[in-house]
Amino acid sequence: GVTLGQSAMVTGEDRPFGDTWEGLIDYAKENPGTSYATQTALDRMIIEYIAQQEGLDLRIVPTSGGAGMAPLILSGDVDFAYSGGTHSGYADSGEMPVLLSLAEDRLAAFPDAPTLQEAGYDINAAEIRVAMVPQNTPDSHVERLAEALEAATQDERFIEITEERILMPVTWMPEDEVTQTLSDQVEGYEALLEELGGLPGED
């Protein structure tokens, strides 16, 4: 593991609910059909869980990645959305406020937005950006790659580009720690799927 993901729930400027998660939830409760732009099966699962917990009736709008989401949010055609990182490009302009952090901690560039857990949702959706190799890769190669990646996370140039330009915290997580973290998340997602009765959108 080399960096921590900074996924989030985002919105646009000058929305009737403002730029807070609490404001959005209150607005969505009073306005059935509040629209949400989804990108992945994971974020769709998370929003379905939140909708159940909060008693929301949302209109789900599928999009093809950040490039499909951003115009909808910036134009006001969609009320709020999942963002895997597109919002980092708007940290200075304020055009895409973050409502909720999907990382384990508050986002480096948007410290005012609460985490899922702080907002009262028992989900760990934290992302770790990892390097993987095929299972049959020789151990010596794996060890050499791990050494190089660990060195990269300590390199000032890598840290500057990753943390100051991409706004993604650099971290080093060895294989066993990453594997355990991902295993724990899988168990959590399996429990969530069972609670939801399957993947959202399935018959």
Could you tell me the CATH number of the domain that includes residue 38?
3.40.190.10
Residue 90 lies inside a defined structural domain of this protein: yes
Q: Is residue 156 part of a domain?
A: no
- The pLDDT of 133-153, averaged and rounded, is 95
Query: Can you tell me the mean pLDDT for 72-98?
Result: 95
For residues 113 and 116, what is the distance between their CA atoms, to the nearest angstrom? Answer: 10
- Least confidently predicted of 91-100, 135-144, 184-193: 184-193
Say yes or no to pLDDT of 91 above 70: yes
Phi then psi dihedrals of residue 107, to 5 deg: -70, 145
Determine the Cα–Cα distance for residues 96 and 99; give it in Å rounded to an integer.
Answer: 9
Whole domain around residue 56: which residue ranges?
3-128+178-196
The mean pLDDT value for 61-75 works out to 95
pLDDT at 200 over 70: no
Is the separation of the CB atoms in 15 and 162 below 8 Å?
no
As a whole number, mean pLDDT of residues 72-81 equals 97
Note the pLDDT of residue 46: 93
Each as own residue / partner, the long-range contacts of residues 104-109 (CB below 8 Å, 24 or more positions apart, any chain) are: 104/4, 107/6, 107/8, 107/167, 108/6, 108/163, 108/167, 108/168, 108/169, 109/6, 109/167
Q: What rounded mean pLDDT belongs to the chain?
A: 92
pLDDT at residue 193, as a whole number: 82
d(CA 151, CA 82): 32
Split at pLDDT 50, 70, 90, the class of 201 is low
Question: Please, what is the Cα angle at 50 between 171 and 81, to 5 degrees?
Answer: 65
pLDDT band of 196, cuts 50, 70, 90: confident
Q: Does residue 185 register a pLDDT over 90?
A: no
- pTM (2 decimals)? 0.86
Q: Residue 155 above 90 pLDDT? A: yes
Percent of all residues in the chain with a pLDDT value above 70, rounded to a whole number: 98
152 falls within a domain: no
In a domain? residue 149: no
The pLDDT of residue 203 is: 43
pLDDT given at position 114: 97
Q: Classify residue 50: in a domain, yes or no.
A: yes
DSSP string covering the chain, please?
Answer: --EE---EEEE-TT-TTTT-HHHHHHHHHHSTTEEEEE-SHHHHHHHHHHHHHHT--EEEEE-SSHHHHHHHHHHTSSSEEEESSGGGGGTTT-SS-EEEE-SSS--SS-TTSPBTTTTT-------EE-----TTS-HHHHHHHHHHHHHHTT-HHHHIIIIIIS---B----HHHHHHHHHHHHHHHHHHHHHHTSSTT--
Q: Is the pLDDT of residue 27 over 50?
A: yes
Local confidence band at 194 (pLDDT 50, 70, 90 cut-offs): confident
How many domains are contained in the chain?
Answer: 1
Tell me if 157 is assigned to some domain: no
